[in-house]
Amino acid sequence: MLSEHDSSQPIYFGCRFKPFTPQGYMSGGAGYVLSREALERFVNKGLPSPHLCKASDHGAEDAEMGECICMEHIGVKAMDSRDALHRGRFFPFMYVLDYLIYHLRPYGVRYGAARDEHNRSHTPY
């Protein structure tokens, strides 16, 4: 995906959420990618200038990057990350799905009890 773009262009990619700014912002849960020029601008123009990019220890960093219009103020354009068939490449809810599928256990259900019983009945003595 990145090989199709010039790293000297101030652009960034991710799963775009539309609220807060005209160009939206990229979801931190899905991750986002800044071009070399976008990173250069963020570090050298945005971070040293609180009126352009607000630095704080609270809030969601992804929304701060977009919502506070940081990327827009420093001239970084949010790009479309989808492939030629318009399929997404960044998926913000993958960690949630992993948790729901592999880690969440409803109260009262004993996981492993059937497995333990199966192992006891098939253990050679």
Residues 88-124 have pLDDT tens digits of 888 777 777 778 888 888 777 776 655 555 555 555 5
Write the pLDDT tens digit of every residue in 19-62. 556 666 676 667 788 899 999 998 999 888 888 777 666 666 55
Residue owning tokens 């570090």: 43
User: If pLDDT is split at 50, 70 and 90, which confidence band does 68 have?
Assistant: very low
User: Is residue 41 within a helix (H) or strand (E), and if so which, with residue range?
Assistant: helix 36-41
| The model's pTM | 0.62
> What is the rounded distance in angstroms from the CA atom of residue 73 to the CA atom of residue 117?
62
